């Protein structure tokens, strides 16, 4: 079984970087002035999402913390401002399990410039559950919600000139090895949480690659990444088993500041084009699975996702 973020079967390719698997987000951003950038981070109220948002805000960026729970989101903003009094951190209400919430968030930002979206939020539903529109919840949140968000904010992204979309995937994209379009999202009969999570993370990789193919010529850079081995996150918030497993191995794994490092590295690395359609790990270019690199599969997933959004557009 591949637990969230756990895999030991690949080695990093060579990339020009001084950072590695033990680097922190603060180390990656040390000395950088991001005051000209606006970054949106989903799932930023806790775990690596919080440290991603905090480190970017500490470096001067205007950071939008997109979170489902208002109290948790506003508390995260307050914690950032307490640690970094000059930080420009703002709460943005966003429920990735609701396309209506997605449309409202995009409307709120319709006049805003936007340089980067870090699609960090994730979920692994322990039992079968549905989003507001009837998608299996793990895939609905991890993929459908992020797909709708990025689609809705493409005008603001492309207007920035050199936008970036960073998909926080996982080594769990390796299982199952292929995306079964005949049972996607997974139906209730035979539902298995880890299988659905693996599908969702594979979708993150495929979406990043197809986004690069479609919009790279307009200056956009899109990539996906593995944040680290069993980083403490909110991914298992609905599963006691996953929470226990993460706590058990936490002394041997990355902390949240280290888990956020590859996300912020992807957001600031130059030249950006070097990372386009790449899969990252430990602040380096790594290699996704053959399925994750399959352009035909990525295109098919994109077309299917667009049809889903079109079907629910008027609801």
Instruction: Give the Å distances, CA to CA, from 8 to 5, 186, 228, 230.
Output: 10, 27, 11, 12
The catalytically annotated residue of 128, 191, 197, 279 is 197
* Measured distance CA(125)–CA(46) in Å, rounded: 18
For residue 131, which of 198, 200, 71, 189 has the smallest C-alpha distance? 200
Per-residue DSSP letter, 136: B
Instruction: Report residue 165 as tokens.
Output: 């979309």
Residue pair 69/43 in contact by the 8 Å Cβ criterion: no
For residue 162, which of 39, 28, 285, 272 has the smallest C-alpha distance? 272
**197 assigned to active site:** yes
Burial class (CB in 10 A: 0-12, 13-18, 19+), 132: middle
Residue pair 126/159 in contact by the 8 Å Cβ criterion: no
* Residue 195 Cα to chain centre, angstroms: 18
* Residue 46 Cα to chain centre, angstroms: 14
Q: What is the CA radius of gyration of the chain?
A: 18
Q: Hey, is 87 helix, strand or coil?
A: coil
* Measured distance CA(253)–CA(241) in Å, rounded: 18
End-to-end CA distance of the chain: 38
Backbone angles phi, psi at 272, to 5 degrees: -60, -40
Instruction: Report residue 108 as tokens.
Output: 């709120």
Per-residue DSSP letter, 90: E
Q: Which of the residues are catalytic?
A: 197
């Amino acid at each position: 079984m591949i637990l969230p973020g756990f895999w030991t079967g690949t080695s990093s390719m060579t990339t020009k970087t001084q950072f590695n698997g033990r680097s922190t987000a603060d180390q990656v951003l040390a000395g950088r002035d991001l005051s000209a950038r606006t970054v949106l981070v989903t799932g930023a109220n806790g775990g690596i999402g919080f440290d991603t948002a905090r480190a970017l805000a500490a470096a001067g960026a205007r950071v939008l913390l997109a979170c489902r729970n208002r109290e948790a989101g506003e508390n995260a903003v307050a914690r950032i401002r307490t640690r970094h009094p000059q930080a420009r951190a703002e709460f943005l209400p966003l429920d990735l399990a609701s396309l209506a919430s997605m449309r409202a968030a995009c409307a709120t930002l319709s006049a805003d410039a936007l340089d980067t979206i870090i699609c960090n939020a994730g979920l692994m539903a322990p039992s079968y559950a549905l989003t507001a529109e009837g998608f299996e919840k793990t895939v609905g949140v991890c993929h459908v919600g992020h797909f709708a968000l990025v689609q809705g904010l493409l005008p603001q992204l492309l207007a920035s000139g050199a936008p970036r979309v960073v998909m926080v995937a996982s080594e769990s994209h390796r299982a199952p090895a292929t995306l079964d379009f005949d049972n996607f999202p997974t139906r209730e009969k035979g539902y298995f949480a880890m299988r659905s999570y693996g599908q969702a993370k594979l979708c993150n990789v495929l979406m990043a690659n197809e986004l690069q193919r479609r919009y790279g010529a307009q200056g956009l850079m899109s990539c996906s990444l593995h944040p680290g081995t069993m980083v403490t996150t909110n991914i298992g918030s609905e599963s006691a088993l996953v929470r226990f497993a993460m706590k058990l191995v936490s002394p041997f794994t990355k902390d949240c500041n280290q888990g956020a490092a590859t996300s912020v590295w992807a957001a600031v690395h130059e030249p950006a084009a070097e990372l386009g359609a790449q899969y990252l790990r430990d602040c380096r270019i790594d290699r996704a699975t053959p399925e994750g690199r399959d352009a035909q599969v990525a295109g098919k997933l994109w077309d299917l996702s667009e049809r889903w959004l079109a079907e629910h557009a008027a609801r």
